[in-house]
């Protein structure tokens, strides 16, 4: 399995306009996924529910992302991948309109579920699509460009959503992504080339990948790395506010720095990952473990904390690029099955790490979350070593 070659024809040159339009889609995806984080209070107030109940809107999108990542490629295995991407983008636009115009909370949750469908569906085919349209030399750079939309959304989504929500109401904040989604859909229609479906993908194909030791260990390493990242990331604001003692404006500045660092990380990651995949697989979690340890030590030094979170952003955004590139080298002929497994594991990792991290934070304090993160990254580095591609 690890030596299989992809059956697709290698393109003569990379259609960068197509890659860029997919980056617009990732921007809308991530912005739509995390908009509720900064708008839970007004949503809860309008629908007459608690903020905890409003938080279900985030959970439900994750659940449907997992289901679609596992089932979408199976159900649509014979459909041209260009059509699939266009379809997922259209669903995202409809979901955006549903959440913005929802007359009651049940309709709002249906819209959030549809956002989850797009999240799981698109990310499960994204690596395969890029591998089909980009040259092997350009593939890591194309992945970095795709993640650039994610990084930009991480910078803008929460503060822009909070600003628009406060100025015009939360519905306008949700509707703001709809025109961008429509623009992306039209752009995809113009520049995305036909990408014929190559082979049927069944659930058994996904399960069969784990018979290969390198694939199985690599998927575990992927999950551990994302768990480490989101165990800490989910509780950055409470750490900054309660442990470091920063005011709201200072917290916003630190979070902006983190997002800017993440955007820089996507700009520089492509060539580094392409030429030094194994060192980055192992080195990233080790470096991030050290950062987590230092953040414990410098909790009384706000300037150091701000600088460290900027660097944290630089080092965390290449994580999807690293593991997407790893997958193209380990299972180049099974990227859709691999993408389905990887997206499902990442969604489970994010959800479980946030839950465990929350339990630790509530019962043991913020130190325990950071120690938990250090342990996860250490295990990720060890498993990454054993997941090295052959050759």
Each residue of 164-214: pLDDT tens digit?
777 888 899 889 889 999 999 999 999 999 988 777 778 888 899 999 999
Query: What residues contact 241, with CB distance under 8 A and at least 6 apart?
Result: 251
Selection from 174, 71, 67, 188 nearest residue 129 by Cα: 188
Each residue of 321-344: pLDDT tens digit?
999 999 999 999 888 889 889 988
Residue 17 to residues 35, 52, 280, Cα–Cα distance (Å): 27, 41, 28
365 sits in the region (left: phi over 0; alpha: psi -120 to 50; else beta) called left
Give me 261's structure tokens: 């660092």
pTM of the complete model: 0.81
User: For residues 28 and 354, is the Cβ–Cβ distance under 8 A?
Assistant: no
Selection from 112, 100, 118, 93 nearest residue 42 by Cα: 100
DSSP, res 212: S
- First-last CA distance in the chain: 13
State whether residue 373 is helix, strand or coil: helix
DSSP, res 209: G
Crossing angle of helices 277-297 and 366-386, in 10° steps, is 160
Q: What is the pLDDT along the chain (391 residues), one digit of tens a residue?
A: 333 333 345 667 889 999 999 999 999 998 888 777 667 778 888 999 886 677 778 778 888 999 998 888 888 888 999 999 999 999 999 999 999 999 999 999 999 999 999 999 999 899 889 988 999 889 888 988 888 888 888 777 766 776 777 788 889 988 988 999 999 999 999 999 998 877 777 888 889 999 999 999 999 999 999 999 988 887 787 788 888 988 878 887 888 888 889 889 988 888 899 999 999 999 999 999 999 999 999 999 999 999 999 999 999 989 999 999 999 999 998 888 898 899 889 888 887 887 788 788 878 888 898 999 999 999 999 999 999 998 6
Helix (H) or strand (E) holding 233: helix 213-233
User: For residues 81 and 128, is the Cβ–Cβ distance under 8 A?
Assistant: yes
């Amino acid at each position: 399995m690890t030596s299989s070659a992809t059956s697709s024809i290698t393109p003569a040159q990379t259609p960068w306009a197509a890659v860029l339009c997919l980056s617009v889609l990732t921007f809308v995806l991530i912005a739509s996924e995390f908009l509720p984080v900064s708008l839970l209070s007004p949503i809860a107030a309008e629908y007459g529910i608690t903020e905890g109940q409003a938080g279900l809107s985030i959970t439900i999108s994750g659940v449907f992302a997992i289901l679609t990542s596992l089932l979408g490629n199976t159900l649509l295995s014979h459909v041209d991948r260009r059509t699939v991407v266009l379809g997922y983008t259209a669903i995202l636009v409809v979901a955006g309109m549903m959440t913005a115009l929802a007359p009651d909370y049940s309709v709002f949750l249906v819209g959030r579920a549809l956002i989850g469908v797009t999240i799981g569906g698109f990310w499960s085919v994204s690596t395969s699509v890029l591998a089909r349209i980009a040259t092997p030399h350009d593939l890591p750079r194309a992945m970095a460009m795709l993640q650039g939309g994610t990084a930009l959304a991480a910078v803008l989504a929460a503060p822009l959503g909070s600003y628009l929500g406060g100025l015009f109401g939360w519905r306008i904040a949700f509707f703001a992504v709809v025109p961008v989604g429509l623009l992306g859909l039209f752009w995809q229609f113009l520049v995305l080339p036909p990408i014929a479906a190559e082979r049927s993908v069944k659930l058994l194909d996904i399960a069969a990948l784990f018979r290969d030791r390198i694939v199985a260990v690599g998927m575990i390493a992927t999950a551990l790395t994302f768990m480490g990242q989101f165990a800490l990331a989910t509780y950055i604001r409470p750490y900054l506010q309660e442990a470091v003692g920063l005011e709201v404006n200072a917290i916003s500045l630190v979070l902006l720095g983190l997002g800017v660092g993440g955007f820089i990380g996507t700009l520089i990651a492509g060539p580094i990952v392409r030429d030094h995949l194994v060192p980055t697989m192992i080195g990233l979690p080790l470096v991030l473990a050290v950062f987590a340890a230092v953040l414990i030590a410098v909790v009384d030094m706000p300037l150091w904390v701000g600088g460290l979170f900027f660097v944290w952003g630089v080092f965390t955004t290449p994580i999807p690029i690293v593991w997407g590139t790893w997958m193209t080298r380990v299972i180049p002929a099974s990227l859709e099955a691999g993408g389905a497994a990887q997206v499902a594991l990442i969604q489970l990792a994010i959800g479980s790490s946030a839950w465990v991290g929350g339990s630790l934070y509530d019962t043991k304090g913020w130190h325990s979350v950071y120690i938990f993160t250090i342990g996860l990254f250490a295990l990720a580095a060890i498993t990454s070593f054993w997941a090295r591609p052959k050759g």
